[in-house]
Amino acid sequence: MAVTDPAGRKPPTDPAGREPLIDLRGVSRHYAIGGGTVKALDEVDLRVDAGEFVVILGASGSGKTTLLNVIGALDSPTAGSLAIGGREITAARRRELFALRRHEIGFIFQSFNLFPGLTALENVRFGADVAGRDDARDAAQAVLEQVGLGDRGAHFPHELSGGEQQRVAIARALAAGNPIVLADEPTGELDFTTGVQILELLHGVTHTAGTAVLVVTHNREIARVADRIVELSSGRVVSDEPNEPAAMSDLRW
């Protein structure tokens, strides 16, 4: 599926790439549960540049979703520092974190989380509206066409298939025009063919628009499409290697 540059997209925070878009240094996230402490993240270092397609791979309970939540400013690290777009946000105030999410980050969820009361087009427009884009309506339509659903804009989520719903969710994240897209198990609810289409779509976005895409998954096959694979275990980064992306047609799961 071809992806073209949607109108009005913002450039990554650091086009030159000299400064990482995402920069985690010694980030830990501990939870007090019962009488003990769970180390969901333990001194994680991670740098992601604009235009990278990174897969965070790990088994259940490895801390990958916590990592995504910390990067997405939904959760705060217990220790370490976190910078997004060159800006230190570890001690940012609640209001600043909300603004950061509006202007720097887009989310894609496993169960889509579309708004059932809005049509597909309006769901996509939501992303653009929240980011404060003046051309929200046009941008939403353009992005919806880019994900191949230009003719489905008037349909409500419950009238769409799972794959279509996830494409709408991707379009919503892209419509914000933010430099970072975080996807939490985006193919978890989809069949193989649809999952591949979704990955192809995300891949295209990374390379045509320079967006940094972080995909969290437990599925090693999905990791094969990444530019880089970061593997977590027990909250620690156990490997962080560049990867030669496999062709989509080679994927099996």
Judged by CB under 8 A, which stretch of 47-55, 79-87, 92-100, 244-252 contacts another protein? 92-100
Radius of gyration of the chain (CA): 17
CB 125 within 8 A of CB 144: no
Return d(Cα 184, Cα 204) in angstroms, integer. 18
Residue 48 has phi, psi (to 5 degrees) of -125, 130
The window from 6-14, 44-52, 69-77, 224-232 that contacts another protein (CB under 8 A) reads 69-77
Amino acid identity of residue 222, one-letter, is I
Give the one residue of 44, 100, 199, 215 binding another protein; rule: CB under 8 A.
100
- Toward another protein, which CB reaches closer, 102 or 207? 102
Around Cβ 235, how many Cβ atoms within 10 Å? 23
Tokens of 22: 């995402």
Task: Report 163-222 residues binding another protein (CB under 8 A).
Answer: 176, 184, 188-189
Residue from 14, 19, 43, 129 that binds another protein (CB under 8 A)? 129
Within the chain, how many helices (H) and strands (E) appear? 7, 10
**Is residue 34 involved in binding another protein (CB under 8 A)?**
no
- Can you read off the two tokens belonging to residue 163? 């794959």
Q: Which of 7, 59, 79, 99 binds another protein (CB under 8 A)?
A: 99
User: What's the rounded Cα separation, in Å, for the pair 223 and 144?
Assistant: 26
CB neighbour list of residue 26: distance below 8 Å, 6 or more residues apart: 43, 44, 45, 79, 80, 81
Query: Among 34, 35, 36, 116, which residue interacts with another protein (rule: CB under 8 A)?
Result: 116
Q: Which is nearer to another protein, 184 or 227 (CB)?
A: 184
- Contact between 31 and another protein per CB under 8 A: no
The answer to the question of residue 39 lying near another protein (CB under 8 A) is no
- In the complex, which residues of this chain contact another protein (CB under 8 A)? 65-66, 69, 72, 74-75, 95, 98-103, 105-107, 109-111, 113, 115-119, 122-123, 125-127, 129-130, 136-137, 154, 156-158, 176, 184, 188-189
